[in-house]
Amino acid sequence: MADVTRDRLRIIVVDDHTVMRAGVVALLAAEPAIDVVGEAGDGRAGVELAQRLRPDVALVDLRMPVLDGVAATAEIIAGGTGTRVLILTTYDTDAEIERAVEAGAIGYLLKDTTRDQLVDAIRSAARGQTVLAPRVAERLVARMRRPAPVALTAREVDVLNAVADGLSNADIGRRLVIGEATVKTHLLRVFAKLDVSDRTHAVVVALERGLLTRPGQGPLS
C-alpha cells in the first residue's frame, strides 16, 4: 500500500503524447509536495512502471498504444501496489467515463484542467477521494437522472409487432397461438410501461425508443 503520510507524493505520468507528457511533468515539477518519479509512453510501460515504483498516484491517459488507459488502469489496480489511478484525458463521453470508473480509476480529469485543480486532484486521489472534472460530474449526474429504459418482454414485443402489422387482437392471438384475453393483457402491460393509452401511440413510442424488432407493415387498427 502506498504511503500517503509522507510529506511528498510520488507520481507517475502515463501518456503517449510526448509534448503533453512533458508539459504535465514540468507543471508538477514546480509543486514542492509532489515528486514525478517516472513517466511512460504507453499503457503496458505504465503498468510495469507502477509495479516497479509503487507510486501514490498514476496519471493515465485513455487512448494509448500497446495497452489503452482502461486496461492499464485495471492492471495497475489488480497489481496490489496501492497506486491510485487518476485519468487525465481529452475524452469525456459517457462510454469512456464508465469504462474508466469500472476499471477502478479513482478520478477522471480533462486536459483543460488548471495546475491548481490538477494538484488538488492528485492530493485527493492519494487520500482515496473520488475526483471528477466538473463537466464529467455533470454528465454522470445527468445520466443518473435519466429515467430507466423501459424493458418489454419478448412476448410483449411479439404482440406489439403484430399490432404494428395492423392485426386485430383475434388475429394476433391466432398468429402467436395465445388467447385473445392474453393478447389484451399483454397490451395493457405495454400501455402501462410506455405510458400510453392506445395501440397507435404504443407502436409510435416503441419505434421511437427502438423497442420493436422491425418497423410495422400495413395500417394500424
Q: Exposure of 75 by Cβ count < 10 A (0-12 exposed, 13-18 middle, 19+ buried)?
A: buried
Q: Where are the domains of the chain?
A: 9-145, 154-208
Return the SS3 of 76. helix
User: Model-level pTM greater than 0.85?
Assistant: no
Task: Indicate the DSSP class of residue 149.
Answer: P
Q: How far is CA 148 from CA 141, 143, 193, in A?
A: 14, 10, 11
Q: Which CATH fold topology does 154-208 show? A: Arc Repressor Mutant, subunit A (1.10.10)
What pLDDT shows up at residue 148? 65
Phi-psi region of 195 (alpha: psi -120 to 50; beta: other; left: phi over 0): left
What pLDDT shows up at residue 147? 66
What pLDDT shows up at residue 136? 86
Looking at the predicted structure, is the pLDDT value of residue 167 above 90?
A: yes
- Please say whether the beta carbons of 110 and 136 come within 8 A: yes
Residues 157-163 have a mean pLDDT of: 93
What pLDDT shows up at residue 64? 94
What are the b/e assignments for 115-150, b being 16+ CB within 10 Å? eeebbebbbbbbeeeebbbeebeebbeeeeeeeeee
Predicted confidence (pLDDT) per residue in 58-104, tens digit: 999 999 999 999 999 999 999 999 999 999 999 888 788 888 988 99
Residues 6 or more apart in contact with residue 47 via CB below 8 angstroms: 67, 72, 75, 76, 79
- Please say whether the beta carbons of 9 and 56 come within 8 A: yes
Strands in 9-14's sheet, in edge-to-edge order, are 34-40, 9-14, 57-60, 84-89, 107-110, 131-132
Q: How many CB atoms lie within 10 A of CB 95?
A: 8
CATH code of 9-145, in short, is: 3.40.50.2300
Predicted confidence band of residue 216 (pLDDT cuts 50, 70, 90): very low
Q: How far is CA 146 from CA 100, 142, 149, 152, 192, in A?
A: 21, 6, 9, 18, 18
